[in-house]
Amino acid sequence: FVSPRTVRRHLFNSGRIARRPVKKQFLTDRMKEQRLAWAHIYESWIKEDWRQVLFTDESQFYVQGQRSQYVRRSRNEDITAQHIDQIKKHPQKRMYWGCMTYQGVGSISPIYGNMNALKYMELLKGKIQNDFNEAFPTGTGIYQHDLAPCHRAKKVKKLFLEKGVRVLDWPGNSPDLTLIENLWAIMKRELQKTDCSTIEKLNQAIIDIWYDDTKLNQHCANLIDSMPKRVKQLILEEGGHIKY
């Protein structure tokens, strides 16, 4: 009989360290087929093609105090307030819509309440033309969004037709392809360094980081230039999860 502890020790010594599983979206065989079919359509696109896309998305942000992933504390030191990460049970939250291109971030807007087709249309009427004109003055831009119900509404599709905006085909259940998801994650890490203890402070911090942090623009360029690799990896994985 070999004890579990002995097995764990041998695994550790051989480099098989216990790690938390990576969290990914659930994919059925049908979802994988759809993702793979999409990848084959766009496998010939090069970086210059993806640089003509305006990527968009919505994300939730929560009111929180300044947070740190780690604190410094000696072995026998008493725990004090500075060692505690206080989390509200039901924190306030607000959704934001944002967009990005190869040139950098575009506009960002708070969304009050839940997003629906009417709110999305109002947002597009006020933002899409300005963002497109600024990023693609020659009119070559392509709009990307995921398959959320409010994005797929008939009235929304009609608005894009009226505006003459080409919308990029997009596979469902694919946050690993939605580049702006990575930008939201960077934003949320930066927000942990800032006091966002009220909705007003949260809003101001988001605006400050989005428009004033010049590193975000470089992240945008790197993310968009990663799209050919993502598509290639999606084909190799036959529509399954990719590392992004």
The pLDDT assigned to 225 comes to 98
Distance, in Å, from the CA atom of 33 to the CA atom of 19, rounded to the nearest integer, reads: 30
Q: Which residues of 126-145 are buried (b: 16+ CB within 10 A; e: fewer)?
A: ebbeebbeebbeeeebbbbb
> Distance of CA 47 to CAs 93, 156, 205, Å?
36, 28, 32
Per-residue pLDDT averaged across 78-105, rounded?
78
Q: Give which of 134, 127, 145, 135 is closest to 52, Cα–Cα.
A: 135
The pLDDT assigned to 82 comes to 59
Distance, in Å, from the CA atom of 210 to the CA atom of 105, rounded to the nearest integer, reads: 7
Q: Is the pLDDT of residue 10 over 90?
A: no
**Adjacent-strand bridge partners of 96:** 59, 110
The pLDDT assigned to 85 comes to 58
Q: Could you tell me whether strands 142-144 and 53-62 are parallel, antiparallel, or unpaired per DSSP bridges? A: parallel
Distance, in Å, from the CA atom of 62 to the CA atom of 54, rounded to the nearest integer, reads: 26
Q: What is the distance between the terminal CA atoms of the chain, rounded to a whole angstrom?
A: 41
pTM of this structure: 0.83
pLDDT band at 15; cut points 50, 70, 90: confident
Per-residue pLDDT averaged across 83-90, rounded?
58
Per-residue pLDDT averaged across 82-109, rounded?
82
Q: Is the pLDDT of residue 24 over 90?
A: no
Q: Is the pLDDT of residue 92 over 80?
A: yes
Say which amino acid occupies 219: H
124-183 per-position pLDDT tens digit = 888 888 888 899 998 889 999 999 999 999 999 999 999 889 999 999 999 999 999 999
37-78 per-position pLDDT tens digit = 999 999 999 999 999 999 999 999 999 865 555 556 667 766
pLDDT band at 81; cut points 50, 70, 90: low
Residue-by-residue DSSP string for 32-78: HHHHHHHHHHHTT--HHHHTTEEEEEEEEEE-B----S-----TTPP
The pLDDT assigned to 140 comes to 87
The pLDDT assigned to 83 comes to 52
The pLDDT assigned to 191 comes to 92
The pLDDT assigned to 71 comes to 57
174-233 per-position pLDDT tens digit = 999 999 999 999 999 999 888 898 999 999 999 999 999 989 999 999 999 999 999 999
Per-residue pLDDT averaged across 12-36, rounded?
82
Say which amino acid occupies 67: R
The pLDDT assigned to 216 comes to 93
Q: Give which of 196, 190, 147, 138 is closest to 168, Cα–Cα.
A: 147
Q: Give which of 127, 121, 63, 118 is closest to 98, Cα–Cα.
A: 127
The pLDDT assigned to 21 comes to 65
What is the chain's Cα-based Rg? Answer: 21
pLDDT band at 2; cut points 50, 70, 90: confident
